[in-house]
Amino acid sequence: MSEATGIRVVPSGTGLAASVEGLDLSRPLDEAQWQTVIDAIAAHGVLRFPAQQLTSQQLFEFSSRFGTPEINVGGMFQEPGLPQVMILSNIQRDGKPVGIGDAGQDWHTDMSYSGTVAFANVLYALEVPQRDGQPLGETRFSDMAAAYDTLPDDVKAKIEGRTATHDFEKFWEMMRREKGSPRPPLTAAQRAAKPPVSHPLVMRHPLSGRRTLYANPGYAMFVDGMDRAESDALLAFLFEHQVQQRFVHVHRWTKGDLLMWDNLRTIHKAIGDYGPTEPRLIKRCQVMADKVLPQGTAGAAASASVHA
């Protein structure tokens, strides 16, 4: 317990994630509270703030303290009047879905497809699906600092200073092709808004100084400037390495949880193991890394921080 703030940060024990107790996020954070949250996310990568009661506006205001909120290029299921807040849900009203029903259901890093990469994604659970008294629809996280640290030296050498190309359409089309997602194909305007971008494969984390592996099977297409067969083999190795059980933390949701994760440190995956009569309702606000990365480097050249 911190004397100054009354906040208790309780690590999960898995090497990733902590519970942050004693904060009411409906009220603006003061500087000391903000610093405690930033230090906790730098140390633990995923933070759970239990038992919150928030309006969408309050979710937006809390999230905004950590970076500029993103308006998702999918353009669907935005909170009316507050497009930075998106609704994730399998609930239907009058035969129409109230939210995106299958967000994030395979390993990915939010917004690695974006010129300005994401720092945090902030999800607030209003309804958690249940069966036989157990929560469904968990979210899994894998620790990319641990994944980097445990890479063989020759692979570390191979990826040092390299970039990979990430493409929004890779995940979107995978969901349509392999998971029967009802999402429509991207329009030409959506594709033009999010063209493929390059990011370093190794980041030096701006908060912790640790090296992290910045690659994910959701969006990473190929290693730039590398023979395609060699790139395919290298990415296949990284994609297998990075999701080993020893790096994974599972978040089982409780209604009222606010979950905030660091996309520079983790990859994640939503588990769609619940049915249409088991309602899930989550509101989300994700913020860019424009506040935490050195000025002007939040985009392609988060690389600047790699060599810093």
Q: Give me the least distance between CB of 135 and ligand OGA, in Å please.
A: 11
Q: Give me the least distance between CB of 165 and ligand OGA, in Å please.
A: 21
Q: Give me the least distance between CB of 129 and ligand OGA, in Å please.
A: 11
Pairing of strands 18-21, 46-49: parallel
Of 219 and 247, the one with the shorter C-beta distance to ligand OGA is: 219
**If binding means CB under 5 A, how many residues of this protein chain bind Mn ion?**
2
Of 216 and 303, the one with the shorter C-beta distance to Mn ion is: 216
Query: CA 126 to CA 94: how far, in whole Å?
Result: 20
Helix (H) / strand (E) element for 53: namely: none
Look at residues 126, 70, 77, 128 and name the one whose alpha carbon lies nearest to residue 103.
Answer: 77
Of 136 and 159, the one with the shorter C-beta distance to ligand OGA is: 136
Query: CA 9 to CA 58: how far, in whole Å?
Result: 22
Q: Give me the least distance between CB of 31 and ligand OGA, in Å please.
A: 29
- Measured from the Cβ of residue 27, the count of other Cβ atoms closer than 10 Å reads 11
The residue number whose beta carbon is nearest to ligand OGA equals 104
Residue with tokens 């890779």: 170
Of 172 and 222, the one with the shorter C-beta distance to ligand OGA is: 172
Of 151 and 282, the one with the shorter C-beta distance to ligand OGA is: 282
* Residue 282 partner contact from ligand OGA, Mn ion, none using kind-dependent CB cut-offs of 5 to 8 Å: ligand OGA
The residue number whose beta carbon is nearest to Mn ion equals 104
Beta bridge partners of 78: 86
Of 135 and 200, the one with the shorter C-beta distance to ligand OGA is: 135
Of 174 and 226, the one with the shorter C-beta distance to Mn ion is: 174
* Residue 100 partner contact from ligand OGA, Mn ion, none using kind-dependent CB cut-offs of 5 to 8 Å: none
Phi/psi of residue 97, each to 5°?
-65, 140
Q: Is 264 exposed, middle or buried (0-12, 13-18, 19+ CB in 10 A)?
A: buried
Largest alpha-carbon pair distance within the chain? 56
Residues 98-117 close enough to bind Mn ion by CB under 5 A: 104, 110
Phi/psi of residue 25, each to 5°?
-80, 0
Residues 208-247 close enough to bind Mn ion by CB under 5 A: none
Of 60 and 113, the one with the shorter C-beta distance to Mn ion is: 113
Q: Give me the least distance between CB of 30 and ligand OGA, in Å please.
A: 28
Q: Give me the least distance between CB of 271 and ligand OGA, in Å please.
A: 7
Based on the shown chain and the rule CB under 5 A, indicate whether residue 137 belongs to the binding site for Mn ion: no
- Binding-site ranges for ligand OGA (CB under 6 A): 88, 103-104, 110, 121, 139, 268, 270, 282, 284
261-to-156, 196, 282, 286 alpha-carbon distances in Å: 25, 24, 15, 10
Helix (H) / strand (E) element for 238: namely: helix 228-241
Asked if 230 and 222 count as a contact pair (C-beta separation under 8 A), the reply is no
Q: What residue ranges in the chain does DSSP mark as E strands?
A: 8-11, 18-21, 46-49, 78-79, 82-89, 92-93, 96-97, 118-127, 130-131, 134-135, 139-143, 163-166, 197-200, 202-204, 211-213, 220-223, 248-251, 258-262, 266-270, 281-288
* Residue 270 partner contact from Mn ion, ligand OGA, none using kind-dependent CB cut-offs of 5 to 8 Å: ligand OGA
Q: Which residues bind Mn ion (CB under 5 A)?
A: 104, 110
